[in-house]
């Protein structure tokens, strides 16, 4: 049951990260003339970045605390990005 919960939480975390990236992209990249991206595109970009720059340790275990920390980190980044967007 714990592994199923971790699996679901990993997908929720991926979606939340993609949502944060899509919003930040819309606020700060599209004014430069680059087309907007959807949440699905943002999730795909996160996966690509994870493959290229992620850790390659096969023994590393991803637990619930790490996933929740990643979501908190993304939320804080989105919050401060929103504040900067309001100041523009």
Q: In the 8-state DSSP scheme, what is residue 11?
A: H
Q: How far is CA 66 from the centre of its chain?
A: 13
Q: How far apart are the first and last CA of the chain?
A: 46
- Please state the φ and ψ torsions of residue 54, each to the nearest 5 degrees: -75, 165
pTM of the shown model: 0.79
DSSP letters, 26-87, are HHHTGGGTPPP--HHHHHHHHHHHHHHHS---TT----HHHHHHHHHHHHHHHHHHHHHHHH
What is the structure's pLDDT at 55? 72
Q: Give per-residue pLDDT as tens, 29-87.
A: 999 999 999 999 999 988 888 878 877 776 777 778 888 888 898 999 999 999 999 99
């Amino acid at each position: 049951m714990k592994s199923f919960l971790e699996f679901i939480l990993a997908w929720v975390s991926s979606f939340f990260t993609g949502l944060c990236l899509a919003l930040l992209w819309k606020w700060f990249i599209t004014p430069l003339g680059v087309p907007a991206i959807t949440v699905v595109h943002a999730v795909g970009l996160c996966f690509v970045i994870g493959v290229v720059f992620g850790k390659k340790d096969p023994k590393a275990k991803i637990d619930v605390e790490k996933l929740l920390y990643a979501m908190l980190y993304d939320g804080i980044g989105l919050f401060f990005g929103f504040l900067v967007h309001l100041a523009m």
